[in-house]
Structure 1
Amino acid sequence: MTVYPSEAPRQGLVHQYPVVVFFLIAYAFSWTIGGLLIADYQGALSVPGALHYVSAFGPMVAAIVVTALISGRPGLLDLWRRGMRADVGWRWWLIGVGTPVALGVAAIVVFWLSNGVLPDLALFGEVDYLGAIGALAALALWIATYGFGEEVGWRGFAFHRMEGGGWVQAAVMIGVLWGLWHLPYFFYKANFIALGIGGFAGYLISITMGSILLSWMYRGSGRSILVVALWHGLFDFVSASPIAEGVGNALISSVVIVWVIVILWLARRDRASA
């Protein structure tokens, strides 16, 4: 847990329970927008579907607000520096950027083998609620929203403060809360509604696995929010595209699951030998 000098003399609920307050704000911001989108889906009112992407900024907003309240300028500067930290070494750039790109290539190959033709790469530029905005615009959207919008909060604030009690335990706890944060999607977004209750349980497990992977990446990269935000945004850019539907997404998910199992095995081995 990082404590800044300006935090020590202050008192109050936010200073005593910063992580709790962070989650409350993140949920309140995103679920308020989610509620509007649910009402729109039910026909009770009309709002732009693009608000779906605005809801992704809940964790970032919460991280900035709570950091400003409990540690002021020094904390905000530290959050900014970690958000822009690029001096992580070639290995972590290869992991942060190279692995999702490799998964994208794998999705293209799977599509080709399944359909007998190479996919139109313009499909990477198709996003829900906005249509065909172009691959570069879609990539920028994913990195800004579900990359930085989420990772500044989940890893940059919550995990950064919780990992002292054991990084795997912290990653799992955040993974569950992160998964529950997506709950409104299951009431207005068609592909989530199709998953049903049983699908939600599976989704929660997959999100928790993702939390472990991103937390491991955050620690290994010297606590670079930049690296995990780029990985997250690139991963969503690939996995949410029509090219990765079906078998492609199954392959991508399998790779991540195996990757996380290896990470946990190595973490357990390191603890045993310590």
Structure 2
Amino acid sequence: METFEDIGAARSQRVWGTAGGFLAVAFAAAGALGTVQQAAGVPAEVIQLAQFGPAAGVAALALVQRDRVARLVRGAGRSGAGRGAALLATAPLITVLAILAYLLGQGGAADGWFTRPGSLEHSFALIVVAQLVGACAEELGWRCLLQPLLRTRFGVLASSVTVGVLWGLWHVPVFAQRPQYAAAFLAATVAMSVVLGLALEGTGGARRLLLAGGFHTLVNLGMLLFLDEESGAVLPMVCFGSACLLAALPWVMRTPSGAGSAAATLRRT
């Protein structure tokens, strides 16, 4: 006769097995798509093809666990409109905080910190649309599959932090930069993942995807226009990571004390 501990262990193995399968495809697909991007000359300013790696992970899992993937992505319940609006408002807040930190770090006289949309090599409207498509493809995996999957075993904070770490590690090229740069980037992904996890708790389906994709797009556009972290400079990335941590604090402080309980969220998937 199976004990509760046996059942729990079996469910845990199933969760981590599914997560491992998703991550394996997401990493491999991102690497392959990055190679395709270079070979085809797709402008990184417009879109990063690697963003479709997590979507490929979802598609691969759906081939073998169709019903389970559908349940996770569909989710259950809906969060209030105010929480969605607060999530989208957090993205420009991160940009403003990062700009202020950057200007302070440069003694208030930083040059070239703003890139006019009209000065970009490609149409800004095209960039916005492409960024939203890419962000949604990425968030389909991180926030619509992996987060709900881990949420079946862990509390909202623990699952969000775990997704944030994995999301950060998935950006493999970042870790070729200086350690301070990589550490700041990882802090940013964890902080943003916490914001997303808390804001999207109880939300599923298209609403979850669009909110996550919208937040991701606004953050990316803010970085594109106001920071030059793509150059590998440490200060902009440190400012960005610090801004993400500060923006996450109000969300964490409003988290109910029971939100971290894994036992309260255990359910069959």
1:261 maps to: 249
The reply to whether residue 216 of structure 1 matches residue 198 of structure 2 is yes
The reply to whether residue 172 of structure 1 matches residue 167 of structure 2 is no
5+ unaligned residues in a row in structure 1: which ranges?
A: 1-12, 41-45, 188-192
Alignment of 1:102-117 (within 5 A): none
TM-score by length of 2: 0.68
Distance 1:76 1:125 in 2: 41
SS in structure 2 of the partner of residue 132 of structure 1:
coil
| Pair 64,34 (structure 1): closer, same or farther in 2 beyond 3 Å | same
Contact in 1 for aligned 2:169/2:186 (Cα 8 Å)? yes
Which one of 85, 88, 99 corresponds to residue 97 of structure 1? Answer: 88
5+ unaligned residues in a row in structure 2: which ranges?
A: 1-12, 230-234, 265-269
Amino acid at match of 1:100: A
Amino acid at match of 1:238: G
Distance 1:61 1:17 in 2: 17
Distance 1:256 1:169 in 2: 18
Contact in 1 for aligned 2:92/2:218 (Cα 8 Å)? yes
The reply to whether residue 48 of structure 1 matches residue 30 of structure 2 is no
2:8 maps to: none
Amino acid at match of 2:123: G
Percent identity for Structure 1 against Structure 2? 18
Contact in 2 for aligned 1:171/1:215 (Cα 8 Å)? yes
The reply to whether residue 134 of structure 1 matches residue 123 of structure 2 is yes
Distance 2:238 2:183 in 1: 17
Which one of 169, 182, 185 corresponds to residue 200 of structure 1? Answer: 182
Contact in 2 for aligned 1:218/1:225 (Cα 8 Å)? no
The reply to whether residue 163 of structure 1 matches residue 145 of structure 2 is no
Distance 1:100 1:92 in 2: 13
| Pair 77,254 (structure 1): closer, same or farther in 2 beyond 3 Å | same
Amino acid at match of 2:60: V
Amino acid at match of 2:33: I
Q: CA deviation at 1:226?
A: 1.5
Distance 2:27 2:160 in 1: 18
Amino acid at match of 1:24: A
Amino acid at match of 1:66: L
Contact in 1 for aligned 2:95/2:243 (Cα 8 Å)? no
| Pair 165,111 (structure 1): closer, same or farther in 2 beyond 3 Å | closer
| Pair 14,133 (structure 1): closer, same or farther in 2 beyond 3 Å | farther
SS in structure 1 of the partner of residue 41 of structure 2:
coil
Which one of 238, 248, 251 corresponds to residue 222 of structure 2? Answer: 238
1:29 maps to: 29
Amino acid at match of 1:207: T
| Pair 68,240 (structure 1): closer, same or farther in 2 beyond 3 Å | same
Q: CA deviation at 1:34?
A: 3.8
Which one of 178, 184, 195 corresponds to residue 173 of structure 2? Answer: 184
TM-score by length of 1: 0.67
RMSD: 4.2
